[in-house]
Structure 1
Amino acid sequence: MVRVVIESELVRTEKELPNSLKLRQFKDRLYHVTGVEPEDMEIVVKRQYDNKEIYSTKKGGAYSNEDEDANFLKGEEELIVVVTDSNAQSISNQLATQAEGIPSMEVISEEDYLRRDQSVLRWKMAHGYGRFNAAQQSQRAALAKQDEAYAREQLTAAIGRHCRVTVDGSAPREAILRYVGPLPLDVMGTWCGVEFPEAAGKNDGRINGVTLFGPVAPGHGSFVRPRAVEILSEDEESAEVEDVHDDVESDDEI
């Protein structure tokens, strides 16, 4: 774990973060603290003891590959992370504008922040935003429950079979089901490891240094939610299926 001071227009607090986070996971942690949407973040990371900048990114810049390790977390130095919201119309910037004239920021504990009546977190809770959207969370929970049942009842016994993978409306891709189970990442639920006949995936069967299947050729593996996998019938398996791949980014494929 590494101790990090997180600063934004609305909050300054201390957290302990795992050293093994990916960039995507790091941004997600910052979002839950600052309220700044990941796609709007401009981030500067500095060492606390000498204030030297060791990492920075502009919107849409250095995060082109969010599956890379956040290597700046791997040292033992305490860090300062400054998060700027590049979206002038965002909720956090509007709240910051309303807060002009309020005395300068102070370091508060997470417990004290949770008790505050006026904060980004309280605003989200009051307006049902993000993880406080009950309908959205209920829908996600229902999908997760369906995924678990489908994986347990049908997919686990189908490892090694040909399948069709469809993620977020992208064109179906033919693959072979290689793995069903959890991932060594900060993500919940069951995932399916699939091997594509060509480089239509995102990895080689390894995640966070752990081999879950293969390894296969680079770019021939991916991990998707069970609902994205359809096991082919014997007739379909024997038929030649054209594999078409659209490069569509989705949180349901790793």
Structure 2
Amino acid sequence: MDITVNVTSSLTNSQRRISTNWTVAHLKQRLEQITGIPPQSQELLLYPLPTSSESVSIDKDDSLLSGYELPEGARIQVNDTRPDSELRALEDEGRPHEEYVMDDEEYDKRTDTLRHWKRVNQLGKYDPSYTGKLNKSVQLNSSIAQNLTVGSRFRTVNDTHDERRGIIRFIGKVPEIDQGLQTWCGVEFDEPLGKNDGSIKGVYYFNCNPGYGSFLKPQQIEQGDFPELDPFGSDDEI
């Protein structure tokens, strides 16, 4: 069974889809791609709810995740056990990562950081083809956005969640996300499957109930006459 969990570490925080059929060892391999922490140096703590104060250790590499209490929306905290790691230093000092400030030049010299790991593995902006891919993505989103209309119905495509439907509420640049580089679609979902209320960092682009709003790339959207999905699965579509 696939579920969505919140993955957190001292420097990262994101939602991910995982399978309860994975082994703990396989999960750690996937988490390295997110946190930059090698599997052998990961300490995994499971919080059944994002706000839970008590955790359970996920420490048996050959066991299946189905053997743990892993409800939808659970949080997995990934700690770095390397004694000389900057992430370990943050955890030991008990300081929230938002308060940690390091000179960028000094940070760039370290070899135990997520940035260094991405550079070595040529990921993200360190991929030699990154600029070309980014320009292609910007052009594609801009082209698709020209055929979308605010107020139209849509459904998601290539979604990490199951298909979501709703109404397009905004089309344009959102500097709070990427400094105004790409075109984004502000959407209101039919169900509380979003992340916000139409605002980003206090700036409102449209209004909706909390948890119903989100910002998607145009290439994630298919505009059309898509009615609300029947929650009991009796949708008339073939």
**Structure 1 length as normaliser, TM-score?**
0.46
**Structure 2 length as normaliser, TM-score?**
0.48
